[in-house]
């Protein structure tokens, strides 16, 4: 049905912050077609935090086009993008990425690197990048080792007026481990990453943010103690936000008993108590968003020993479905709260530009062809989910998934 106008009949929209009665929604784009929306939901499209498509440095793994297709399948009208393989560290790089993004018909916000080549040795031209349209600055998932260099980032970064994004994992404590340090790491004999590798990094970031008055966003928080530090700092007036990863809300370190390398992430899966704390953080507002942390990895880099496997997973295509039912359970029947955590916009009932058509009751199996491109690294592969996207309407274009 691409390039056709649609009339979705008897669909129930979530618009203007509340559920509306069943109605017909017209999506004009050429000829006329009709979909029976009985039992379906019309949801506002989403905005993803945490996306890396490897383009153009690793298009043998994944291309920018694959990433855009993943966004369309998952109902994401936009994303906050940062390239680890090909960091945006000068104006030329930023301009090149902007040209790619402008052709996508989606809203891609670009995070620049605060250091040249992501090496954390010399600072990038942050003022130039900020004036050129960088949405903020990030560490590409690698926390700076040198505290003096970290201070320089905050000192120079303050002048940009941008938010700085950090993945909190102190390298000297976390670089040799592959899983959370605790009962299950001892049981299976894997090197552990103590929670202090995260909490020490979080503490340092909060201290620098308060010291220099620079807003920060802490990514993929994985443990309860980190949330406590963030909450206390925010009460003191520190301008800090944070997110938690999709898979950290679904799994804990007991999953490691499967020995599947699909459970290896940059921030390790922590304990069941930590997982519950992450949910509580979302519910009470300590955590502002759920990050997709969409990171494609080739099969040969995953289908190896756990220690040798590359960390990361793809998630854009399945994020809404994976979290819909469990959110309903955690919120006592209000799964729509997930929309806010996934950065949803506001659905207009007049002339909608972005929309997700969703069946909350349809059970389906996650298969390799669920994912865009040639990679499918996800611990949910082969699992059954309840709630499926039937189609997305993004940038005035319909994308059928039924």
Is the Cβ–Cβ distance between 42 and 357 less than 8 Å?
A: yes
Which tokens hold the place of 137? 């600055």
The pLDDT assigned to 276 comes to 98
pLDDT in tens, the chain (402 residues): 455 578 999 999 999 899 999 999 998 765 678 999 999 999 999 999 999 998 766 777 889 999 999 999 999 999 999 998 889 999 999 999 999 899 898 999 999 999 999 899 999 999 999 999 999 999 988 999 999 999 999 999 999 999 999 999 999 898 889 999 999 999 999 999 999 999 999 999 999 999 999 999 999 999 999 999 999 999 999 999 999 999 999 999 999 999 999 999 999 999 999 999 999 999 999 999 999 999 999 989 998 999 999 999 999 999 999 999 999 999 999 999 999 999 999 898 877 889 999 999 999 999 999 999 999 999 999 999 999 999 999 988 899 997
To which H or E segment does residue 136 belong? Answer: strand 136-138
Which tokens hold the place of 343? 């950065």
The pLDDT assigned to 31 comes to 60
The whole-angstrom separation of Cα 338 and Cα 289 is 9
To which H or E segment does residue 390 belong? Answer: strand 384-394
Cα atoms in the 13 Å half-sphere on the side-chain side of 23: 11
The whole-angstrom separation of Cα 288 and Cα 241 is 6
In the chain the first and final C-alpha atoms are separated, in Å, by 11
Name every residue whose Cβ is closer than 8 Å to that of residue 6 and which is 6 or more positions away in sequence. 26, 27, 29, 32, 33, 34, 35, 393, 398
> What's 347's DSSP letter?
P
Buried b (16+ CB within 10 A) or exposed e, 300-334: ebbeeebeebbbbbbbbbbbbbbbbbebbebeeee
What domains appear along the chain, each with residue ranges and CATH number? 45-330 (3.20.20.140)
pTM of the model: 0.95
Buried b (16+ CB within 10 A) or exposed e, 126-165: beebbebebbbbbbbbbbbeeeeebebbbebbeebebbbb
The whole-angstrom separation of Cα 154 and Cα 25 is 48
Is the Cβ–Cβ distance between 95 and 130 less than 8 Å?
A: no
The pLDDT assigned to 181 comes to 97
């Amino acid at each position: 049905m691409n390039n056709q106008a649609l009339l979705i009949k008897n669909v129930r929209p979530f618009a203007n912050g509340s559920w509306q009665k069943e109605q017909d929604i017209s999506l004009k784009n050429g000829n006329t077609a009709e979909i029976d929306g009985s039992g379906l939901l019309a949801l506002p499209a989403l905005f993803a935090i945490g996306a890396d498509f490897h383009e153009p440095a690793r298009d043998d793994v994944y291309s920018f086009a694959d990433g855009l297709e993943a966004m369309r399948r998952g109902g994401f009208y936009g994303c906050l993008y940062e390239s680890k393989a090909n960091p945006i560290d000068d104006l030329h790089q930023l301009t090149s990425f902007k040209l790619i993004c402008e052709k996508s018909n989606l809203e891609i916000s670009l995070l620049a690197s605060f250091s040249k080549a992501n090496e954390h040795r010399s600072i990038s031209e942050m003022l130039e990048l900020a004036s050129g349209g960088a949405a903020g600055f990030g560490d590409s998932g690698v926390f700076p080792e040198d505290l003096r260099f970290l201070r320089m980032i905050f000192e120079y970064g303050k002048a940009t007026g941008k938010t700085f994004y950090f993945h909190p994992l102190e390298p000297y404590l976390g670089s040799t481990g592959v899983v959370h340090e605790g009962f299950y790491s001892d049981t299976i004999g894997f090197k552990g990453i103590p929670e202090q590798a995260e909490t020490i990094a979080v503490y340092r970031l909060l201290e620098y943010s308060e010291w220099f008055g620079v807003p920060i966003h802490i990514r993929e928080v994985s443990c309860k103690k980190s949330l406590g530090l963030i909450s206390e700092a925010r009460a003191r007036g520190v301008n800090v936000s944070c997110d938690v990863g999709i898979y950290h809300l679904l799994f804990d370190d007991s999953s490691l008993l499967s020995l599947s390398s699909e459970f290896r992430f940059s921030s390790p899966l922590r304990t069941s108590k930590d997982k519950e704390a992450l949910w509580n953080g979302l519910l009470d507002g300590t955590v502002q968003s759920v990050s997709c942390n969409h990171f494609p990895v080739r099969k040969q880099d995953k289908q190896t020993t756990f220690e040798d496997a590359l960390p990361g997973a793809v998630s854009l295509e399945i994020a809404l479905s994976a979290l819909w039912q469990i959110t309903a359970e955690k919120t006592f029947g209000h799964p729509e709260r997930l929309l806010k955590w996934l950065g949803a916009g506001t659905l207009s009932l007049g002339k909608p530009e972005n929309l997700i058509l969703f069946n909350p009751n349809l059970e389906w199996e996650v298969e390799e062809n669920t994912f865009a491109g040639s990679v499918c690294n996800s611990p949910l592969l082969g699992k059954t989910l309840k709630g499926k996207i039937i189609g997305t309407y993004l940038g005035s274009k319909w994308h059928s998934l039924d």
